[in-house]
């Protein structure tokens, strides 16, 4: 499935770097998911990809709506900007 693209304003985008500064890019793949409902088809599987000019970092998989605590704020903000609840 193709990623959905949502335009955001400059003001909205300015808040994102502060949230990203606390995310351990090199350790994204090692973050522990707080639940395992995706393994029994009780939740969709999700992951976060962060692209920089030189590398794409991909998180460990987690249940949609229940990310690792280190990713919760940034995912909540991305959903808010995209109008997803």
| First-to-final CA distance of the chain | 20
CB-CB neighbours of 48 under 10 Å: 19
Interval 37-79: pLDDT, tens:
999 989 999 999 988 899 999 999 999 999 999 999 999 988 8
Interval 31-48: pLDDT, tens:
999 999 999 989 999 999
């Amino acid at each position: 499935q193709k990623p959905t693209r949502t335009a955001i304003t400059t003001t909205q985008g300015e808040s994102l770097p502060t949230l990203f500064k606390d995310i351990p890019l090199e350790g994204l793949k090692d973050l522990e998911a707080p639940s395992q409902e995706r393994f029994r088809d009780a939740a969709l599987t999700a992951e976060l990809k962060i692209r920089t000019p030189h590398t794409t970092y991909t998180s460990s998989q987690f249940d949609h709506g229940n990310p690792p605590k280190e990713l919760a704020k940034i995912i909540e903000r991305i959903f808010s900007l995209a109008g997803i609840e």
